[in-house]
Structure 1
Amino acid sequence: MSDASKDLTPPHGGTLKELLVDSDRAAALREEARDLPSWDLTERQVCDIELLLNGGFSPLDGFLREADYNAVCADMRLADGTLWPIPINLDVTEEFAGSLKAGARIALRHPEGMVLAIMTVEDSYRPDVRKQAEQVYGAADEAHPEVFRLFHQTNPVYLGGPLEGIELPPHHTFKHLRHTPRELREWFAKMGWNNVVAFQTRNPMHRAHVELAKRASQKGEANLLIHPVVGMTKPGDVDYFVRVRCYQEVVKHFPEQTTQLSLLPLAMRMGGPREAVWHAIIRKNHGCTRFIVGRDHAGPGKNSAGEDFYGPYDAQELVRKYQDELGIVMQPFEEMVYVEDMAQYVPRSEVPEDARVLNISGTELRRRLKEGLELPDWFSYPEVITKLRQAFPPKRQQGFTVFFTGLSGSGKSTIANVVMAKLMEHGTRPVTMLDGDLVRKHLSSELGFSKEHREINIRRIGFVASEITKNGGVAICAPIAPYRATRREVREMVSQGGGFIEVYVATPLEVCEERDRKGLYAKARAGQIKQFTGIDDPYEEPENAEVVVDTSRYSADELAQQVILHLEKQGYIDLD
């Protein structure tokens, strides 16, 4: 066994493999790290390494080697046959991987700079991410957020090998609600909680969730651990700061002596059935004896054909299949709905015939919050609604981004400047213009015009726009932004903090060439400029733009007015 791991068998959860070393070894590793190649961990990798180091991912001793990765993808097992459904990988750039020799040791750094662990690199391999998507998530469909991440945000090389943990990632928020697996096990033992049921959530809890969790606790004669994910969830979810404030209010509606709230720093994969098995393993490692699996557990929503990725109870079936091997009891629950005539929540299968059922989905909740619509008393608690309203003010008070995209010469900047002038005249929010040429001059002057550099430039624009938006301002962006995937990343970034309105300036190519004041199209046609959008590099037209305009048919003033009217219709501005 590696010196970095300690196998413990506390009263709850079976063997726990922790990868944190003792203080003397940690001091030696910090000294060693000064001379080692260093990798700066991504947000997802920080979440993964925390649960590797604290034992939440027991029995893993580090990031997956190639044999383990292949076995997990194909059969939900490590190479030695141990059940494990989700690949845990350290993805790095080709340049970094190419600088390493077999058996190299590398320092893994937190974004704040401290070294969290030393990894011995036993494997370096290039994954087939399409095959991974099909095997793990059921389809290579980019409507699945994890598949999209695999295809567009994952580095091309995976490193595998054991970890020696120096320290856990720092947390500066809600410290009193954060517990390692060991801490929860010891607390359960101290309190005499020999039977604990875990409730998983990535959304705010409302009355239906409370009723479901209470019933699960009563049915299993178990104490209740409310264990929400506060690492990474589905893009567009309510951020964890807001959710935790809601959980703190909701927990007051549970019996104090039989309920515990603890936060889980997990990066979800939205993997449906496989993820449910993974969640069960993680909760067992935290000392739980039971785990609630509800309807469409960890489901990502609709696929590209408009159908659910997974069946509503597929997750329950898969967990039930492996329940004995998992060593944790599954408590299946179906969807809870509010029956108006009975004035209470009941499982959908128990709804009386012809009874009027009321229900608000997570998607509908987010829509109502963003639109400022009513949330009825039967759905949630007043104090929870108050917390949500504080985070989701009416649209006329929210920040937003207007993101123009189109070919060079399409008229994006001209329309954008008119829209900016009209919004500044309106005067309700500060307005910032992020024009493609200006951003390149001030933020991206070192970048060229390769596909990689153009994507970096657009992400920078998106990041700045997201900061402006979440702080209540208006960002007007006018880059070419030719690639759908990058525009989607920007939309997801911005939408976390406010509104996002994509405006496709669909001026035909021939019109753009006629307006070619800088002679760029002519140079591209002559081969003097390579990878020029619309000539020898594609422009991927938006499929779901909120507004589509064409400057070959209308003036910039007329088209800017279309954008302004759309903003008014959506409630972001009030022209009266």
Structure 2
Amino acid sequence: MKTDDYSESLVVHFRRAEVLRNHALELVSLNLNERQLFDLELIMNRGFYPLTGFLGKDDYQSVLHHLALTDDTIWPIPVCLDVNEAFAKSVRPGQLIALNDQEGFLLAILTVSDIWKPVKKEEAGLVYGTSNSAKHPGVRQLLERTESWYIGGSVEGVNLPVHYDFLQLRLTPSESVRRFTMNGWRRVLGFHTEQYLHCAHREMVLDAASRIGASIFLQPVVGLDHPGDVDFYTHICCYQVFTTKFPPNMIMLGLSPFATRRAGPREALLQAIMRKNFGCSHFMVSEDQADPFARANGASLFYERGAAQQLVSDYAERTGIEMVPQEDWGYHEAEKKYFPLAAGSSELEKITSVELQRRMQEGEEVPSWFTWPDMVTELQHAFPPKSKQGFTVFLTGLSGSGKSTISKVLLVKFM
């Protein structure tokens, strides 16, 4: 759902929030799953601007067939609230629903506009390029784990979802833009990543930013592997180390909640729109951006190589953000320098995140030209010897006694 609401947040004033909390006691409520919470947070903090809620049926159909909302605003992927049939049949258009997190804390009030049963195989074919769940993990998620009915409607935010980790890095779009302004940044290159970064990444990003005269906004994704995945904490700590390798006032790190669909070109276009909403003027896109098999050893890509770059570039004028192609770099040991692999020299050592992870898992030496020693130290937290692997804390108690909340706090403290 989209309106002409230009506010920087959909979280209401605290006095309105008090009214909504009291009213919510009388409303039907829905506890959101993790994927839905990510979508709701981006709707409320305007990372999904111009959406002001979950898509209604007309916008949903328009996005599927035209990559745009009904008012012709570019939007490539449906953002809908999926519910089971029993819940769908218990509500009606115009009704208010209290949207809660997984512990039952109120986050927002949804005003229902549409309730419908989508043809999910049609959605899969249009968004992912296939309706075969065996060929695409995103399709499998849609067909097998997403509920069969959708609800659309606008939201009034009461609270953003609660986080306990890396709070200083969880910037909303308005916060990131204010920091860019304070730093004097006019041109900003957005860099979306989920990989372990290394020395070649630094050279690649620096070269791309210098060519367009931009500063860098490194925005790794807080994805569906978190919480509970130690790899998440290692990733973020490594990104913090990575930013120290740049000149002063050159790079900024911020985390973004995002439920990846692995929808290839369409998802790359959505990522570009998000970076525009966070204040970026340019967005770096790899040849295999958002491909479900981009980092799978030995697996062929699902989408045509370069298709994501092409789609983001094709819509640049309408989205307002320019595409910058991501180039892979390698190391020339004789010259002690990094060069783009496109240079074609057979003497370039190829540096990849997959190889870095393999070396760490096998306990092999990682040369300093591959990645920095302090980065290796952080990575060792994710790949410890068996003698240093973890333990279990078992919590028991009645429903609503605080087990989940305590476990989340303990998780952050231990990490």
Give the corresponding residue for 1:533: none
Output the CA distance in 1 between the equivalents of 2:132 and 2:360: 29
Output the CA distance in 2 between the equivalents of 1:99 and 1:161: 16
Q: Deviations over 1:313-353 (max 9, x none)?
A: 1111111111111111211122222333433322221133x
Give the corresponding residue for 1:165: 157
Give the corresponding residue for 1:331: 324
Aligned: 1:370 with 2:361: yes
State how 1:61-100 maps to structure 2 within 5 Å.
Answer: 61-100=52-91
Which has the greater radius of gyration? Answer: 1
Q: CA deviation at 1:141?
A: 3.8
Q: Deviations over 1:27-61 (max 9, x none)?
A: 11111110111110111111111110011100111
TM-score, with length taken from structure 2: 0.87
Aligned: 1:181 with 2:173: yes
2:156 aligns to what SS in structure 1? strand
Q: CA deviation at 1:236?
A: 12
Give the corresponding residue for 1:532: none
Aligned: 1:60 with 2:46: no
2:220 aligns to what SS in structure 1? coil
Give the corresponding residue for 2:250: 258
Give the corresponding residue for 2:402: none
Give the corresponding residue for 1:315: 308
Q: Deviations over 1:1-41 (max 9, x none)?
A: 99x98415xxxxxxx5x322112211111111101111101
Of stretches 40-49 and 228-237 in structure 1, the one that deviates more from structure 2 is 228-237
Q: CA deviation at 1:191?
A: 2.3
Q: Deviations over 1:480-530 (max 9, x none)?
A: xxxxxxxxxxxxxxxxxxxxxxxxxxxxxxxxxxxxxxxxxxxxxxxxxxx
State whether residues 336 and 346 of structure 1, in contact with CA within 8 Å, keep that contact through their aligned partners in structure 2.
yes
Size of the aligned set, in residue pairs, is 394
Give the corresponding residue for 2:350: 359
Amino acid at match of 1:26: A
Aligned: 1:267 with 2:259: yes
Output the CA distance in 1 between the equivalents of 2:188 and 2:161: 27
Q: CA deviation at 1:398?
A: 5.2
Give the corresponding residue for 2:236: 244
1:257 aligns to what SS in structure 2? coil
Aligned: 1:111 with 2:111: no
Give the corresponding residue for 1:50: 41
State whether residues 231 and 382 of structure 2, in contact with CA within 8 Å, keep that contact through their aligned partners in structure 1.
no
Output the CA distance in 2 between the equivalents of 1:196 and 1:71: 31
Q: CA deviation at 1:395?
A: 5.7
Residue 230 of structure 1 is aligned with which of 222, 246, 254? Answer: 222
Aligned: 1:148 with 2:147: no
Output the CA distance in 2 between the equivalents of 1:370 and 1:208: 20
Output the CA distance in 1 between the equivalents of 2:228 and 2:244: 27
Output the CA distance in 1 between the equivalents of 2:203 and 2:159: 38
2:331 aligns to what SS in structure 1? strand
Q: Deviations over 1:530-559 (max 9, x none)?
A: xxxxxxxxxxxxxxxxxxxxxxxxxxxxxx
Give the corresponding residue for 2:277: 285
Q: Structure 1 pair 113/5, CA: closer, same or farther in 2 (3 Å)? A: farther
Q: CA deviation at 1:213?
A: 1.2
1:376 aligns to what SS in structure 2? coil
2:257 aligns to what SS in structure 1? coil
State how 1:435-454 maps to structure 2 within 5 Å.
Answer: none
Q: CA deviation at 1:306?
A: 4.5
Give the corresponding residue for 2:202: 210
Q: Where does structure 2 lack aligned partners over 5 or more consecutive residues? A: 393-410
Output the CA distance in 2 between the equivalents of 1:280 and 1:306: 26
Residue 192 of structure 1 is aligned with which of 177, 184, 187? Answer: 184
Aligned: 1:344 with 2:337: yes
State whether residues 92 and 115 of structure 2, in contact with CA within 8 Å, keep that contact through their aligned partners in structure 1.
no
Residue 374 of structure 2 is aligned with which of 367, 379, 383? Answer: 383
Amino acid at match of 2:160: L
State whether residues 76 and 83 of structure 1, in contact with CA within 8 Å, keep that contact through their aligned partners in structure 2.
yes
Output the CA distance in 2 between the equivalents of 1:272 and 1:344: 33
Q: CA deviation at 1:357?
A: 3.0
Output the CA distance in 2 between the equivalents of 1:50 and 1:226: 19
Q: CA deviation at 1:362?
A: 3.6
Output the CA distance in 1 between the equivalents of 2:137 and 2:335: 38
Q: CA deviation at 1:361?
A: 3.6
Amino acid at match of 1:160: G
Q: CA deviation at 1:192?
A: 1.9
Which structure is richer in relative contact order (CA contacts within 8 A, separation 6 or more)?
Answer: 2
1:122 aligns to what SS in structure 2? strand
Output the CA distance in 2 between the equivalents of 1:193 and 1:225: 10
State whether residues 83 and 149 of structure 2, in contact with CA within 8 Å, keep that contact through their aligned partners in structure 1.
yes
1:108 aligns to what SS in structure 2? strand
Give the corresponding residue for 2:407: none
Q: Deviations over 1:63-104 (max 9, x none)?
A: 111111122122211122210011111111112112112221
Amino acid at match of 2:56: R
Output the CA distance in 2 between the equivalents of 1:290 and 1:308: 25
State how 1:125-140 maps to structure 2 within 5 Å.
Answer: 125-140=116-131
TM-score, with length taken from structure 1: 0.64
Amino acid at match of 1:252: T
Output the CA distance in 2 between the equivalents of 1:23 and 1:385: 45
1:164 aligns to what SS in structure 2? strand
State whether residues 234 and 270 of structure 1, in contact with CA within 8 Å, keep that contact through their aligned partners in structure 2.
no
State whether residues 106 and 121 of structure 1, in contact with CA within 8 Å, keep that contact through their aligned partners in structure 2.
yes
Q: CA deviation at 1:269?
A: 1.5
State whether residues 145 and 234 of structure 1, in contact with CA within 8 Å, keep that contact through their aligned partners in structure 2.
no
Of stretches 157-166 and 129-138 in structure 1, the one that deviates more from structure 2 is 129-138
Give the corresponding residue for 2:396: none
State whether residues 64 and 88 of structure 1, in contact with CA within 8 Å, keep that contact through their aligned partners in structure 2.
yes
Q: CA deviation at 1:363?
A: 3.6
Output the CA distance in 2 between the equivalents of 1:380 and 1:366: 11
Output the CA distance in 1 between the equivalents of 2:64 and 2:280: 26
